[in-house]
Homo-oligomer: A and B are copies of this chain.
Amino acid sequence: MGIVVQNIDRADLALIDRLAECGVATIHEAQGRKGLLASYMRPIYSGARIAGSAVTISAPPGDNWMIHVAIEQLHDGDILLLAPTSPCEDGYFGDLLATSAMARGCRGLVIDAGVRDVRDLAEMGFPVWSKAVSAQGTVKNTLGSVNVPVVCAGAAIEPGDIIVADDDGVCVVKRSEAADVLEKARTREANEVDKRGKLASGILGLDIYKMRERLEAEGLKYV
């Protein structure tokens, strides 16, 4: 505790932006179904779809001091990601912090705790994925750390990892795997265009994916 790592490696922003376009479900599949945060992490408003480099915060329960420290470390295209050191639903973050973060180029917040001023945040277009909405304020008394590895909502995240978030939830992509994941995601998308057309025309997945034989082998009975 009490450490701020100032220089972290980040992925290329163009790559990050292309990951955002793919969306969480596709990215999660493309990287072998890993890196998903717990499903209790919900967006405060619908329709946002973002990606960015994680500036991580490890903070004590009910203490948001480190968010101020973290904002100084933000680069354009970053996402703040906060994990409390023990479970907490307090409202660590509101419209003032969002104003400051946006001024530093921040694209959004992922927080395994609470957030407040959610109507203001929606009006500002600052997306947040959180465990709770709570007006409960926090103190500024105990150090935490910035840009250290954290576990957030069940996922292990290192600073500079790429966070992808949309209405389906939040996923983390390892920086070293990002280019490969993007390529696989795009291949998936291309494949899906064709499949979607067939399915829309009424052709069954049973036939497209040639499942009938294996279902029969497994013993499926039609009665």
Nearest-CB distance from A135 to chain B (Å)?
4
- Copies of this polypeptide in the complex: 6
Residues on A lying within 8 angstroms of B by beta carbon are 1-6, 23-25, 28-29, 32-34, 36, 38-39, 42, 45-47, 49, 60-63, 65, 68-69, 71-72, 85-91, 94-97, 99-100, 102-104, 114, 116-119, 122, 132-137, 139-143, 149, 151, 154-156, 166-169, 171, 192, 195-196, 199-202, 204-206, 209, 211, 215, 218-223
- Residue pair B85, A134 in contact (C-beta under 8 Å): no
Interfacial chain B residues near A47, Cβ < 8 Å = 119
Task: Verify B33–A167 contact, CB threshold 8 A.
Answer: no
> Which of B6, B65, B100, B169 touches A211 (beta carbons < 8 Å)?
B65
Residues of B within 8 A of A89 (CB): 39, 86-87
Known: A142-B139, A202-B103, A220-B143. A195 touches B132 (CB 8 A): no
Q: Are A86 and B136 in contact (CB under 8 A)?
A: yes
